[in-house]
Amino acid sequence: MGEFVRCEVADGIGTIALTRPPMNALNETVQEGLRSAAAWASASAEVRAVVVYGGQKVFAAGADIKEMAAMSYADMAARADDLSSAFDAIARIPKPVVAAITGYALGGGCELALACDWRVVAEDAKLGQPEITIGLIPGAGGTQRLPRLVGPARAKELIMSGRMVDAAEALRIGLADRVVPAAEVYDAAVALVRPFVTGPQAALRAAKAAVDRGLEMPLPAALAWESQVFAGLFATADRAEGMAAFVEKRAPNFGAD
Protein backbone atom coordinates (compact mmCIF):
# COMPACT_ATOMS: atom_id res chain seq x y z
CA MET A 1 0.00 0.00 0.00
CA GLY A 2 2.89 2.31 -0.65
CA GLU A 3 6.27 2.93 0.81
CA PHE A 4 5.23 3.49 4.42
CA VAL A 5 2.05 1.44 4.93
CA ARG A 6 2.10 -2.36 5.00
CA CYS A 7 -0.97 -4.60 4.86
CA GLU A 8 -1.20 -8.27 5.75
CA VAL A 9 -3.91 -10.70 6.88
CA ALA A 10 -3.84 -13.75 9.13
CA ASP A 11 -6.78 -15.78 10.42
CA GLY A 12 -9.29 -13.23 9.19
CA ILE A 13 -7.62 -10.23 10.87
CA GLY A 14 -6.00 -7.63 8.64
CA THR A 15 -3.17 -5.47 9.94
CA ILE A 16 -2.56 -1.98 8.57
CA ALA A 17 0.95 -1.15 9.77
CA LEU A 18 2.69 2.22 9.60
CA THR A 19 6.34 1.80 8.68
CA ARG A 20 7.92 5.24 8.57
CA PRO A 21 10.52 5.34 11.35
CA PRO A 22 11.40 6.83 13.67
CA MET A 23 8.01 8.42 14.53
CA ASN A 24 5.64 7.40 11.71
CA ALA A 25 5.17 11.04 10.72
CA LEU A 26 2.04 11.21 8.59
CA ASN A 27 3.19 12.87 5.39
CA GLU A 28 1.19 12.84 2.15
CA THR A 29 2.66 9.49 1.12
CA VAL A 30 1.52 7.88 4.38
CA GLN A 31 -1.90 9.50 4.10
CA GLU A 32 -2.43 8.09 0.63
CA GLY A 33 -1.11 4.73 1.80
CA LEU A 34 -3.78 4.73 4.51
CA ARG A 35 -6.44 5.48 1.91
CA SER A 36 -5.28 2.53 -0.20
CA ALA A 37 -5.08 0.29 2.87
CA ALA A 38 -8.63 1.19 3.83
CA ALA A 39 -9.82 0.27 0.33
CA TRP A 40 -7.99 -3.06 0.60
CA ALA A 41 -9.44 -3.88 4.02
CA SER A 42 -12.93 -2.90 2.90
CA ALA A 43 -12.88 -4.98 -0.28
CA SER A 44 -11.08 -8.11 0.89
CA ALA A 45 -13.40 -10.98 1.81
CA GLU A 46 -10.48 -12.52 3.69
CA VAL A 47 -10.33 -9.55 6.08
CA ARG A 48 -13.09 -9.62 8.69
CA ALA A 49 -11.56 -7.29 11.27
CA VAL A 50 -8.68 -4.81 11.23
CA VAL A 51 -5.83 -3.72 13.52
CA VAL A 52 -4.13 -0.37 12.82
CA TYR A 53 -0.62 -0.53 14.30
CA GLY A 54 2.41 1.71 14.37
CA GLY A 55 4.90 -0.81 15.73
CA GLN A 56 6.42 -1.60 19.11
CA LYS A 57 7.77 1.91 19.78
CA VAL A 58 5.30 4.48 18.45
CA PHE A 59 1.85 4.64 16.88
CA ALA A 60 2.21 7.99 15.09
CA ALA A 61 3.61 11.20 16.55
CA GLY A 62 1.70 13.48 14.19
CA ALA A 63 1.89 15.13 10.81
CA ASP A 64 5.15 15.75 9.00
CA ILE A 65 5.68 19.32 10.23
CA LYS A 66 8.62 19.94 7.88
CA GLU A 67 6.42 19.06 4.93
CA MET A 68 3.56 21.22 6.20
CA ALA A 69 5.80 24.19 7.05
CA ALA A 70 6.66 24.56 3.38
CA MET A 71 3.00 24.74 2.35
CA SER A 72 1.19 27.99 1.61
CA TYR A 73 -2.46 28.72 2.30
CA ALA A 74 -3.22 27.85 -1.32
CA ASP A 75 -1.32 24.56 -0.99
CA MET A 76 -3.23 23.51 2.11
CA ALA A 77 -6.57 24.71 0.79
CA ALA A 78 -6.05 22.31 -2.10
CA ARG A 79 -4.85 19.48 0.17
CA ALA A 80 -7.05 19.76 3.28
CA ASP A 81 -9.97 17.72 1.97
CA ASP A 82 -7.65 14.90 0.88
CA LEU A 83 -5.97 14.92 4.28
CA SER A 84 -9.28 14.57 6.09
CA SER A 85 -10.70 12.00 3.68
CA ALA A 86 -7.65 9.75 4.02
CA PHE A 87 -8.42 9.36 7.73
CA ASP A 88 -12.15 9.13 7.02
CA ALA A 89 -11.42 6.18 4.74
CA ILE A 90 -10.19 4.29 7.82
CA ALA A 91 -13.34 5.29 9.75
CA ARG A 92 -15.53 4.00 6.92
CA ILE A 93 -14.02 0.51 6.72
CA PRO A 94 -17.25 -1.50 7.12
CA LYS A 95 -15.66 -3.93 9.56
CA PRO A 96 -14.50 -3.79 13.19
CA VAL A 97 -11.31 -1.71 13.45
CA VAL A 98 -9.05 -1.29 16.49
CA ALA A 99 -6.01 0.95 16.95
CA ALA A 100 -3.05 -0.66 18.77
CA ILE A 101 -1.25 2.30 20.33
CA THR A 102 2.30 2.33 21.64
CA GLY A 103 4.47 5.33 22.44
CA TYR A 104 2.78 8.43 21.06
CA ALA A 105 -0.51 9.05 19.28
CA LEU A 106 -0.37 12.82 18.80
CA GLY A 107 -1.97 15.21 16.33
CA GLY A 108 -2.70 13.25 13.20
CA GLY A 109 -1.74 10.09 15.07
CA CYS A 110 -4.48 10.72 17.59
CA GLU A 111 -6.89 11.51 14.77
CA LEU A 112 -6.02 8.20 13.11
CA ALA A 113 -6.75 6.42 16.38
CA LEU A 114 -10.04 8.30 16.71
CA ALA A 115 -11.05 7.01 13.27
CA CYS A 116 -10.95 3.46 14.63
CA ASP A 117 -13.78 1.79 16.56
CA TRP A 118 -11.63 1.08 19.63
CA ARG A 119 -8.24 2.00 21.03
CA VAL A 120 -5.96 -0.42 22.90
CA VAL A 121 -3.29 1.70 24.58
CA ALA A 122 0.09 0.89 26.13
CA GLU A 123 0.52 1.76 29.80
CA ASP A 124 3.27 4.25 28.95
CA ALA A 125 1.60 5.79 25.87
CA LYS A 126 0.71 9.46 25.44
CA LEU A 127 -2.20 10.79 23.39
CA GLY A 128 -3.24 14.31 22.44
CA GLN A 129 -3.98 17.02 19.91
CA PRO A 130 -1.08 19.49 20.23
CA GLU A 131 -1.78 21.43 17.02
CA ILE A 132 -2.62 24.58 19.00
CA THR A 133 1.04 24.81 20.05
CA ILE A 134 2.01 25.53 16.44
CA GLY A 135 -0.89 27.87 15.77
CA LEU A 136 -3.27 25.34 14.23
CA ILE A 137 -6.24 23.16 15.12
CA PRO A 138 -6.71 19.48 14.29
CA GLY A 139 -7.55 19.18 10.62
CA ALA A 140 -8.23 15.48 10.04
CA GLY A 141 -11.20 14.83 12.29
CA GLY A 142 -9.93 15.76 15.75
CA THR A 143 -12.35 18.61 16.39
CA GLN A 144 -15.27 16.37 15.39
CA ARG A 145 -14.49 12.83 16.53
CA LEU A 146 -12.88 13.74 19.86
CA PRO A 147 -15.95 15.60 21.25
CA ARG A 148 -18.20 12.77 20.10
CA LEU A 149 -16.03 10.40 22.12
CA VAL A 150 -15.17 12.34 25.28
CA GLY A 151 -17.74 15.16 25.26
CA PRO A 152 -17.44 18.74 23.96
CA ALA A 153 -16.13 20.41 27.13
CA ARG A 154 -13.32 17.92 27.65
CA ALA A 155 -12.47 17.91 23.94
CA LYS A 156 -12.21 21.71 23.92
CA GLU A 157 -9.88 21.62 26.91
CA LEU A 158 -7.61 19.05 25.27
CA ILE A 159 -7.61 20.77 21.87
CA MET A 160 -7.23 24.31 23.19
CA SER A 161 -4.47 23.43 25.67
CA GLY A 162 -2.67 20.98 23.40
CA ARG A 163 -1.72 18.88 26.41
CA MET A 164 -1.00 15.18 26.27
CA VAL A 165 -2.89 12.63 28.35
CA ASP A 166 -1.42 9.43 29.72
CA ALA A 167 -3.00 6.02 29.35
CA ALA A 168 -4.75 6.13 32.73
CA GLU A 169 -6.46 9.43 31.94
CA ALA A 170 -7.27 8.28 28.41
CA LEU A 171 -9.05 5.25 29.86
CA ARG A 172 -10.89 7.36 32.43
CA ILE A 173 -12.27 9.83 29.88
CA GLY A 174 -13.11 7.22 27.23
CA LEU A 175 -10.29 7.97 24.82
CA ALA A 176 -8.83 4.50 25.49
CA ASP A 177 -10.83 1.29 25.72
CA ARG A 178 -8.16 -0.99 27.15
CA VAL A 179 -4.76 -0.31 28.72
CA VAL A 180 -2.13 -3.04 28.71
CA PRO A 181 1.66 -3.35 29.03
CA ALA A 182 3.42 -2.03 25.94
CA ALA A 183 4.67 -5.45 24.87
CA GLU A 184 1.08 -6.77 24.82
CA VAL A 185 -0.61 -4.01 22.81
CA TYR A 186 -0.78 -5.73 19.43
CA ASP A 187 -1.86 -9.08 20.86
CA ALA A 188 -4.51 -7.37 23.01
CA ALA A 189 -5.85 -5.54 19.96
CA VAL A 190 -6.05 -8.80 18.02
CA ALA A 191 -7.83 -10.45 20.96
CA LEU A 192 -10.38 -7.63 21.05
CA VAL A 193 -11.47 -8.14 17.44
CA ARG A 194 -10.92 -11.90 17.12
CA PRO A 195 -14.51 -12.79 18.17
CA PHE A 196 -15.84 -10.80 15.21
CA VAL A 197 -14.02 -13.00 12.68
CA THR A 198 -16.59 -15.77 13.08
CA GLY A 199 -19.54 -13.47 13.70
CA PRO A 200 -22.40 -12.59 11.31
CA GLN A 201 -20.65 -10.32 8.85
CA ALA A 202 -23.69 -8.50 7.47
CA ALA A 203 -24.99 -7.78 10.97
CA LEU A 204 -21.59 -6.53 12.09
CA ARG A 205 -21.41 -4.17 9.12
CA ALA A 206 -24.96 -3.05 9.85
CA ALA A 207 -24.23 -2.42 13.53
CA LYS A 208 -21.26 -0.21 12.71
CA ALA A 209 -23.17 1.71 10.04
CA ALA A 210 -26.21 2.14 12.27
CA VAL A 211 -24.14 3.70 15.06
CA ASP A 212 -21.77 5.79 12.94
CA ARG A 213 -24.32 7.21 10.53
CA GLY A 214 -26.96 7.55 13.22
CA LEU A 215 -24.67 9.88 15.16
CA GLU A 216 -24.70 12.21 12.16
CA MET A 217 -28.52 12.53 12.21
CA PRO A 218 -31.18 14.02 14.45
CA LEU A 219 -32.69 11.32 16.67
CA PRO A 220 -35.95 10.81 14.71
CA ALA A 221 -34.01 10.33 11.47
CA ALA A 222 -31.51 8.06 13.21
CA LEU A 223 -34.30 5.87 14.58
CA ALA A 224 -35.81 5.58 11.10
CA TRP A 225 -32.36 4.68 9.73
CA GLU A 226 -31.97 1.99 12.41
CA SER A 227 -35.34 0.49 11.49
CA GLN A 228 -34.33 0.24 7.84
CA VAL A 229 -31.00 -1.39 8.65
CA PHE A 230 -32.65 -3.79 11.10
CA ALA A 231 -35.30 -4.87 8.60
CA GLY A 232 -32.71 -5.34 5.87
CA LEU A 233 -30.93 -8.01 7.90
CA PHE A 234 -33.99 -10.26 7.54
CA ALA A 235 -32.83 -10.83 3.95
CA THR A 236 -29.54 -12.41 5.07
CA ALA A 237 -28.63 -16.06 5.48
CA ASP A 238 -26.89 -15.29 8.75
CA ARG A 239 -30.14 -14.00 10.25
CA ALA A 240 -31.89 -17.23 9.27
CA GLU A 241 -29.02 -19.32 10.64
CA GLY A 242 -28.83 -17.35 13.87
CA MET A 243 -32.52 -17.71 14.62
CA ALA A 244 -32.55 -21.38 13.65
CA ALA A 245 -29.60 -22.04 15.95
CA PHE A 246 -31.36 -20.26 18.80
CA VAL A 247 -34.54 -22.32 18.35
CA GLU A 248 -32.55 -25.54 18.00
CA LYS A 249 -30.35 -24.70 21.00
CA ARG A 250 -27.05 -24.99 19.18
CA ALA A 251 -24.17 -22.69 18.25
CA PRO A 252 -24.73 -20.76 15.01
CA ASN A 253 -22.53 -21.38 11.99
CA PHE A 254 -22.36 -17.99 10.30
CA GLY A 255 -21.15 -17.77 6.72
CA ALA A 256 -19.82 -14.88 4.64
CA ASP A 257 -23.19 -13.11 4.15
User: Do 207 and 109 belong to one domain?
Assistant: no
Question: Domain range holding 174?
Answer: 5-197
Q: Which residues contact 48 (CB under 8 A, 6 or more apart)?
A: 12, 13, 95, 196, 197, 199, 201
From 63, 140, 155, 176, active-site residue: 63
The total number of structural domains in the chain stands at 2
Global pTM reads 0.95
From 131, 139, 155, 176, active-site residue: 131
User: Do 140 and 218 belong to one domain?
Assistant: no
Measured CA to CA, the distance from residue 68 to residue 63 in angstroms comes to 8
The continuous run of DSSP H or E covering 137 comes out as none
Task: Answer for the pair 27, 67: CB distance below 8 angstroms, yes or no.
Answer: yes
From 55, 62, 103, 108, active-site residue: 108
Beta strands in 57-197 (DSSP E): 97-101, 104-106, 118-122, 126-128, 164-166, 178-180
Q: Is 32 a catalytic residue?
A: no
Percentage with pLDDT > 70 across the chain: 99
In a domain, 15, yes or no: yes
In a domain, 181, yes or no: yes
Task: Answer for the pair 238, 255: CB distance below 8 angstroms, yes or no.
Answer: yes
Q: Is 63 a catalytic residue?
A: yes
Measured CA to CA, the distance from residue 167 to residue 143 in angstroms comes to 20
DSSP 60: B
In a domain, 255, yes or no: no
From 111, 125, 128, 142, active-site residue: 111
HSE (side-chain half, CA atoms, 13 Å) at 107: 21
Q: Per-residue pLDDT for 214 more than 60?
A: yes
Task: Give the angle subtended at the CA of 184 by the CAs of 180 and 173, to the nearest 5°.
Answer: 25
Task: Answer for the pair 15, 51: CB distance below 8 angstroms, yes or no.
Answer: yes
User: Do 172 and 229 belong to one domain?
Assistant: no
Q: Per-residue pLDDT for 1 more than 80?
A: no
pLDDT tens string 25-64: 999 999 999 999 999 999 999 999 999 999 999 999 988 8
Q: Is 108 a catalytic residue?
A: yes
Q: Is 28 a catalytic residue?
A: no
- The larger pLDDT score, comparing residue 109 to residue 64, is at 109
